[in-house]
Structure 1
Amino acid sequence: MRVASVVAGIGIVALLATGCSRGGGTPNSTEDGGGGEASPGITDTSITLGITTPLSGPTAGPGTCTVAGITAYFGAKNADGGVEFGDGKTRKVEIEALDDEYDPQKAKANYDQLKSSVFAMTAGLGTPTNRAWREAATADEMPQALIMSGDPIFSDQQESPWSLGFVPIYQNEGQAFGELLASSSEDHKVAILSQNDDYGEGYVEGFKAGIEGADNIEIVKELTYEATDTSVDAQLTELAGSGADVFFNAMSITPLVISSLQKTQELGWLPSWFLPSNTSSPSAILEPGGAAAFPGVYTVAFAQAAAAPTFADSEDGGPFLDALKEYADYSDVPAFPHCVWSYQVGATLEQVFAKMTEPTRDDFMTQLRSIKDYVAPLMLEGSSVDTTEDGQPAVSTVQVQKYNGKGYAPVESWDQ
């Protein structure tokens, strides 16, 4: 598993330097303003976006991807001349990324460091880390745009008027799992292990909604763990004694998922698994964990998998991998989906920029909430970006997939 090797390529501060400069003038300078005084972080020739995300520590693999994908997307755009905005100006897009190590206090400190120099914050990974500065972003009227958290609070326009999540909310994923299991023609006993925070609670809430009314499903044991835990062996031992044949593991920490897969095999407990999309990588998690030993491992997806055999030869896959290598110094095939997701964030932001007629954060948020039925690069058929529905993130549609020993294949019913 390659966790932090890309950090050196991206760096603690990542700047899209290819063909890119800050341009002339002060941060608020515009030649013909577009009807509003420019917000910090944008000039007539450039716009700067900030990211706080884990670039080191146990979640560095997904975290570095949240920078790499968007860096690759705008690196290619910058090399081609820049991005055309709705005010008629073409701007280069710069990225400033800071490492928060998945620590909420560091994430808040990073935000405080970036807020005066960037136009908007985007793409960063983590529910507790993004929550740490959500209220500050609201007070500062700073866009917290298309972040990598499935917490529904970020997509609630009353609670978070300056925020919007990108990935499906945890309830969306959990409900999809529940509905799949409820489609089974057999009886099932379910054991649940969830992260003791909004992340875990959201997944479990959605799962329970999905099985509501299904008389063939029984939850026999529920336990939690803390995101700071280094082992969940005690919980797994207790869950193994429950007799459950299905394990719903709402876990966000990559090493814990691997060790959990290994520990349940040591215990002789071989249930079918449900895994969140952000901790379901075949090469980085399932293969090291020996997931092929289980009767089924399921996850959900809305984007193509970079490790798929046909990906590199596809219309969008080849350019994505080329841009990732050239502009993000990320030469390997991404093991985590976050590289693709943040590339899609870049493409979605370009749609927003094309609608902006004023260089202001206020106009940015107005246009951010106006994207509908946009099929971003590398999206699975049936998925699209829709930012117009209050309470939902930019992407809310998911497809359940089953691990086949190498990758995932879509499934429509449990008995398939």
Structure 2
Amino acid sequence: MKLRKKSGGVLGVVAMVSIAALSLTGCTRTAPGEGGGAQAAPGVTDTAITLGVTTPLSGATAGPGTCTVAGVTAYFGSVNAAGGVKFGDGKTRTVNIKAYDDGYDPQKSLANFQQMVSDNVFAVTAGLGTPTNRAFRDAAISAKVPQVLVMTGDPLFSDRKQSPWQLGFVPIYQNEGAAFGKLLAQSKGQHKVAILSQNDDYGKGYVAGFKEATKGAANISVVGEQTYEATDTSVDAQLTQLASSGADVFFNAMSITPLMIASLQKAQQIGWKPSWFLPSNTSSPTAILEPGGAGAYPGVYTVSFAKAPQSPTFAKDPDVVKFLADLKQYGNYPDVPAFPHCMWSYMVGATLEQAFKDMKEPTRDSFMTSLRNIKGLKAPLMLEGTAVDTTTDGQPAVSSVLVQKYNGKGYATAENFG
């Protein structure tokens, strides 16, 4: 088994679900008459299927990146221990995960995809990042390799015409931005909004969704807008400029963990204490809000579709209890996760399992057909009112979100703004 990053933790993660890895060598085709007569795709045998994850296991985004491997590995580690998945063709298979470190570098993610093709990976899944997933999207389409349930809110990945072998998992950026906008538009009182966004499709998507949802709202005015580059090491100048606007609401469409923490700290230092709207992937209570001193603000809001293990509300929830046990035993992740990506990729595992159960032939075409026909799946850890639905063109597997407000320990559903 090959691993792109020689890390004890990640090695353990991958090794846990590689029981049948040796059976893959020289055995990627189904013999005539087996599997309903269909020729098996690379990466699938009568007893096992191999999935690849290219994600940041090093660098500034290694925290959430490691979670994308740990969650899906934990899910299938538990499934494999119970005997594996019974596929739609009648075969029972174990699911192997191969992890590749891209350090959030698009060139590395492209190289990782090329290596996955050489390694006979059946499909790519769960990996974090818009630029890194975009880097090999064209190559995946050309090679007809599924690139599915990946952690990007880029709507391109859910457009079936433009991306026939792709599907995003998390809500598109526009959906998250719109959820914030609707909550604010329905609130009482006048609000001045300052916006800081990442200067790429990530930031632009959030802002577009927010502005569309607040269009025509008489109680909302945008009084300042600034952008930053994902490679920037400081946004102090932008924050100082935005603070001078007198905004009482700060919409911060930022994806970089260290910059988000620094932003929370800097705003306090200059005496600016608005309510904050944060993207779901940079809103962790323990990894971001606590070190950033978020309790100093009147309100910090984010969107979610997953039960948070850190929240006292879900401490004894059966889904959360099982998830944490699986994460420790099979994902080699002993702590309560600081990032939601651990929960998201666990849900990815459940969604993939459903697709496998409906997959009539051991082919990538059959897999994509079954994956795109999942509706109303209540995957483990999903909040009430959310579900997996892959049937709508232009939308990812999860498109419904709930706005939540930070309460000093975790998040609680925000019925209104304020």
Question: TM-score of the superposition, structure 2-length normalised?
Answer: 0.95
Which of the numbers 115, 137, 152 marks the counterpart of 2:117?
115
SS at match of 1:34: helix
Match of 1:98 in 2: 100
For the residues of structure 2 that align with 1:19 and 1:47, how far apart are their CA atoms?
A: 11
Match of 2:235 in 1: 232
SS at match of 1:238: helix
In the alignment, is residue 144 of structure 1 matched against residue 137 of structure 2?
Answer: no
For the residues of structure 2 that align with 1:145 and 1:90, how far apart are their CA atoms?
A: 22
For the residues of structure 2 that align with 1:402 and 1:190, how far apart are their CA atoms?
A: 18
In the alignment, is residue 339 of structure 1 matched against residue 378 of structure 2?
Answer: no
The answer (yes or no) to whether the contact 1:306–1:335 under 8 Å persists in 2 is no
Which of the numbers 377, 384, 400 marks the counterpart of 1:374?
377
Match of 1:321 in 2: 324
Match of 1:27 in 2: 27
The 4+ residue runs of structure 1 with deviation greater than 3 A are: 15-22
Residues 5-404 of structure 1: pairs in structure 2 closer than 5 A: 8-11=8-11, 14-17=14-17, 19-23=19-23, 26-31=26-31, 32-116=34-118, 117-404=120-407
Between the aligned residues of both structures, percent identity stands at 68
For the residues of structure 1 that align with 2:288 and 2:14, how far apart are their CA atoms?
A: 27
How far is the alpha carbon of 1:24 from its aligned partner? 6.4
How far is the alpha carbon of 1:25 from its aligned partner? 6.7
SS at match of 1:55: coil
Residue segments in structure 2 that go unaligned for 5+ positions in a row: 1-5
For the residues of structure 1 that align with 2:201 and 2:307, how far apart are their CA atoms?
A: 27
For the residues of structure 1 that align with 2:8 and 2:232, how far apart are their CA atoms?
A: 27
How far is the alpha carbon of 1:19 from its aligned partner? 4.4
For the residues of structure 1 that align with 2:240 and 2:260, how far apart are their CA atoms?
A: 15
**Structure 1 counterpart of 2:30, one-letter code:** T
Of residues 267-276 and 303-312 in structure 1, the stretch that sits farther from structure 2 once superposed is 303-312
For the residues of structure 2 that align with 1:409 and 1:403, how far apart are their CA atoms?
A: 7
For the residues of structure 2 that align with 1:84 and 1:319, how far apart are their CA atoms?
A: 21
How far is the alpha carbon of 1:184 from its aligned partner? 1.5
Of residues 302-311 and 111-120 in structure 1, the stretch that sits farther from structure 2 once superposed is 302-311
The answer (yes or no) to whether the contact 1:19–1:79 under 8 Å persists in 2 is no
Q: Closer, same or farther in 2 for the Cα pair 1:293/1:226, shift >3 Å?
A: same
Alignment deviations for residues 3-37 of structure 1 (CA, whole Å, 9 cap, x no partner): xxx95311398244464444367332325032321
For the residues of structure 1 that align with 2:236 and 2:400, how far apart are their CA atoms?
A: 34
How far is the alpha carbon of 1:413 from its aligned partner? 1.8
For the residues of structure 2 that align with 1:229 and 1:412, how far apart are their CA atoms?
A: 35
Aligned residues: 410
Q: Closer, same or farther in 2 for the Cα pair 1:251/1:12, shift >3 Å?
A: farther
How far is the alpha carbon of 1:329 from its aligned partner? 1.0
Residue segments in structure 1 that go unaligned for 5+ positions in a row: 1-5
Q: Alignment RMSD, CA only?
A: 1.5
For the residues of structure 2 that align with 1:8 and 1:324, how far apart are their CA atoms?
A: 16
How far is the alpha carbon of 1:318 from its aligned partner? 1.3
For the residues of structure 1 that align with 2:93 and 2:225, how far apart are their CA atoms?
A: 51
The answer (yes or no) to whether the contact 1:22–1:45 under 8 Å persists in 2 is no
Match of 2:3 in 1: none
Alignment deviations for residues 203-238 of structure 1 (CA, whole Å, 9 cap, x no partner): 000000110110111111111111111111111111
Match of 1:3 in 2: none
Q: Closer, same or farther in 2 for the Cα pair 1:146/1:156, shift >3 Å?
A: same
